[in-house]
């Protein structure tokens, strides 16, 4: 099955050839693994999914297949159809944590579905469908009348933790849910999007009024026990995912924009207990998210410095390409 036209992606590349060449040169090895050079050179399911998605958006079929082959052979080892999340080149065996990471599984399935539809490859769509079924079965659950996304297949549920279920709000990849529903129809995908969007408006902790990376939903949402009470670098994906999926109103995005860089301070990770900035997030891959939100909320043009792609670290480089791709497709007037 190929995706309906309303969910299929534009054929025209939204990532430039030179940008993908730089990304590939810095983060993709010849075996097909995406290297997280900010995290001891490991690879993970998230990075493989991002790499596949970016290769598709760059219309590079050979690199997509290379990344998918590594992902399939090295990470899709679990009996439940999900990917093991962590692969370490310095360890034997290389897979050092076999638990799944739901954002990685979503990204892999989403990229496969888009590529399978865009390039008329039914094997990719079939693989995406298998993973989508596993995500739905293993990590999409009902709790307190809401549909939520567990961060992994084990360790986060109400059975696994005293304060469970625990979620990571940056794992809600809203743009992927309609595609997952096309692959494996279920009302749960729509509820996951609706309930997740409502949840994002509630996650305003401490003086900074920002979401925690790990949140307990045992009762009222609160930062989960055993994790740092911080707004971390992963959480900057929340407004990016909302924007790319065209969900949430302008007011919600404007509130997040104001909280991300409140009172003129630089964008940073934040101690949620005190509201104190911790590590500045000055890489343009992070900062472009502010520019993207300014574009959406009031039409402000994106500075040329934010559009200049000079990758250094894997994660912000990935976010910058996702932001640029979206702006080129949906808000070219801001460029």
Distance CA 28, CA 36 (A): 9
Cis peptide preceding 64, ω within 30 of 0? no
State how far the Cα of 335 lies from the Cα of 105, in Å rounded to an integer. Answer: 32
Contacts for 219-226: CB closer than 8 Å, 24+ residues apart: 223/272, 224/161, 224/163, 224/166, 225/161, 225/162, 225/163
Task: Please say whether the beta carbons of 56 and 11 come within 8 A.
Answer: no
Torsion of CA 316, 270, 174, 54, to 10 degrees: 0
Question: Is 54 in contact with 74 (CB distance < 8 Å)?
Answer: no
CB atoms within 10 A of CB 72: 16
Catalytic residue selected from 19, 46, 74, 138: 46
Catalytic residue among 19, 36, 59, 103: 103
Contacts of residue 255, defined as CB under 8 A and 6 or more positions apart, other chains included, come to: none
Q: Euclidean distance between the first and final Cα of the chain, in Å?
A: 36
What is the side-by-side strand order in the sheet with 277-280?
Answer: 230-231, 268-271, 277-280
Helix, strand, coil share of the chain (percent; to 5): 50, 10, 40
Active site (annotated) includes residue 103: yes
Give the helix ranges, DSSP H, for the chain.
Answer: 17-27, 45-57, 61-70, 102-118, 122-139, 177-183, 187-202, 237-245, 250-260, 284-298, 304-307, 314-330
The Cα 110–Cα 132 span in angstroms is 9
- Is residue 304 annotated as part of the catalytic site, yes or no? no
Q: How far apart are CA 140 and CA 161, in angstroms?
A: 17
| C-alpha distance from residue 115 to each of 118, 127, 179, 184, 216 (Å) | 5, 11, 12, 17, 35
Q: What residues are labeled active site?
A: 46, 103
């Amino acid at each position: 099955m190929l995706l309906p036209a309303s969910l299929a992606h534009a054929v025209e590349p939204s990532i430039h050839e030179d940008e993908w060449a730089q990304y590939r040169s810095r983060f993709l090895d010849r075996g097909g693994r995406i290297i997280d050079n900010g995290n001891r050179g490991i690879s993970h399911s998230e990075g493989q999914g991002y790499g596949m998605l970016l290769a598709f958006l760059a219309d590079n079929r050979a690199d997509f297949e290379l990344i998918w082959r590594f992902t399939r052979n090295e990470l899709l080892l679990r009996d439940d159809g999900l990917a093991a999340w962590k692969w370490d080149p310095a360890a034997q065996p290389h897979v050092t944590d076999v638990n799944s990471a739901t954002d990685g599984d979503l990204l892999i399935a989403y990229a496969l579905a888009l590529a399978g539809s865009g390039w008329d490859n039914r094997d990719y769509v079939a693989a995406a469908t298998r993973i989508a079924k596993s995500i739905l079965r293993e990590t999409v659950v009902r709790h307190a009348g809401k549909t939520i996304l567990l961060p992994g297949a084990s360790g986060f549920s109400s059975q696994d933790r005293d304060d469970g279920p625990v979620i990571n709000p940056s794992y809600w990849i809203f743009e992927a849910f309609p595609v997952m529903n096309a692959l494996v129809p279920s009302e749960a995908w729509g509820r996951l999007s609706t309930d997740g969007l409502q949840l994002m408006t509630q996650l305003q902790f401490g003086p900074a009024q920002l979401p925690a990376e790990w949140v307990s939903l045992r009762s009222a949402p609160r930062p989960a026990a055993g994790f740092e009470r911080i707004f971390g670098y992963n959480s900057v994906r929340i407004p990016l995912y909302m924007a790319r999926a065209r969900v949430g109103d302008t007011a919600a995005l404007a509130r997040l924009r104001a909280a991300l860089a409140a009172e003129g301070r630089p964008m940073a990770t934040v101690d949620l207990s005190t509201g104190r900035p911790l590590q500045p997030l000055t890489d343009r891959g992070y900062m472009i998210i502010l520019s993207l939100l300014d574009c959406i909320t009031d039409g402000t043009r994106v500075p040329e410095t934010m559009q200049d792609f000079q990758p250094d670290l894997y994660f912000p480089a990935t976010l910058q390409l996702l932001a640029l791709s979206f702006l080129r497709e949906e808000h070219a007037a801001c460029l």
